[in-house]
Amino acid sequence: MATAPMTAGSQKNRIDWSQPFAYLVALVVVGITVAPVVYVVLNGFRSTAQINRDPSGWPAPWQWENHTGVLTDPMFWTQFTNSTLVAVATTAGVVILGVMAAFVIARYEFRGRAALFTLFTAGMMFPLTVAVLPLFTMLRGMGLLGNLLAVIIPQVAFQMSITVIILVPFLRSVPAELEDAASIDGASRFGFFRRIMLPLSGPGLVTVGVIAFVTSWNAYLLPLLVLGNPAEATLPVGVQFYSTTYSQDTAGVLAFTSLAMVPALLFFTLAQRRIVSGLTGAVKG
């Protein structure tokens, strides 16, 4: 963003109030957005007794037992591992299958190409919510309930639409001259795909990868239904289990919750630009 402030009549030596006003608005908005996060993180460092006595107080003294308690709980690490495995596998599946399909849709002329593209884009209209009950019965029939694959495969399938929509324009923008040059140099079709297309479409791949990862990391409905018990669960389901099991241990729940926030916040800080450009790129083509 490189817009100069529009100051009404700035030539006339009047004080420009718009700048402090903008800061004030920013301060209020940021205050409201981060307050719950700050509350959870801070109160994770207090004991339940302290929290009950004074719900909106400051940690005094700072307690570390809650966090050590969660971090030495093998269940937390099991769920953390499950979440990581599911997110990594989902991302890999989405990127690999998505780029292959998008490549032929973007660069080949064949009968059924438009239909194929339409089929993938139509998926934007089928949210997981609509399919989740039949999915549950299908996965039970396959004997996959409780298996991480029961989350990974449907997630890959449901991410395919947005992935193809984002990747096709990317892959299409690679000039045809490059392809001709590659084939003159004796590269096979597959060689062209691997050596030229993939490297050049890097930013697009990162974008769809980040969207797939974040979506998977935060997913709740599908894991809730197909991963039955805490030892098989991913973190969001695990947080929910923990909060109902230890509902008396408010401080412990807060510590668990704040630790569950960390990966998403870290990952997001690193990939912020990609997420935003992906979201806006998806709607701008």
Partner 1 sequence: MTAPNLTAGRATPARPDPDPAPARVRRSRRSLRDLALVWGFAAPALVVYIGFVIVPVALAAVFSFFNWNGLGPLERFIGFENYVRAFSDPVFLGALRNNVVILVLSLAIQGPLAIGIALLLNRKLRGRTLIRTLIFVPYVLSEVVAGLAFRLMLPPEGPVDGVLTSLGWSGPKPQWLADPDIAFWTLFAVLTWKYLGLAIILMLAGLQGIPEELHEAAALDGASWWQTQRRITIPLLGPTVRIWAFLSMIGSLQLFDMVWILTGGGPLNATQTMATYMVDIGNGRSQIGFGSAVAVILFLISLVIALIYQRAVLRRDMVGAVTGRG
Within 116-175, the residues that bind partner 1 by CB under 8 A are 116-121, 123, 125-127, 129-138, 140, 153-154, 156-158, 160-161, 164-165, 168-169, 172-173
Does residue 28 come out as left (phi exceeding 0), alpha (psi in the -120 to 50 range) or beta? alpha
Among residue numbers 33 through 92, which ones bind partner 1 (CB under 8 A)? 33-34, 36-37, 39-40, 43, 54-56
Among residue numbers 210 through 239, which ones bind partner 1 (CB under 8 A)? 214, 217-218, 220-221, 225, 235-237, 239
Q: Is the peptide bond before 223 cis (omega within 30 degrees of 0)?
A: no
> Count of residues for the chain?
285
| Interatomic CA distance for residues 174 and 106, integer angstroms | 10
Quick one: which segment of 65-73, 74-82, 195-203, 249-257 binds partner 1 (CB under 8 A)?
A: 249-257
Q: For the packed helices 149-172 and 74-107, what is the interaxial angle rounded to 10 degrees?
A: 40
* Sole binder of partner 1 in the list 14, 113, 194, 195 (CB under 8 A): 113
Residues 6+ apart with CB under 8 A from 95: 163, 205, 208, 209, 212
User: CB 167 → partner 1: shortest distance, Å?
Assistant: 11
Residue with tokens 């971090």: 71
User: CB 159 → partner 1: shortest distance, Å?
Assistant: 10
Contact criterion met (CB below 8 Å) for 164 and 101:
yes
* Sole binder of partner 1 in the list 14, 26, 65, 191 (CB under 8 A): 26
User: CB 202 → partner 1: shortest distance, Å?
Assistant: 18
Q: Is 195 in the site for partner 1 (CB under 8 A)?
A: no
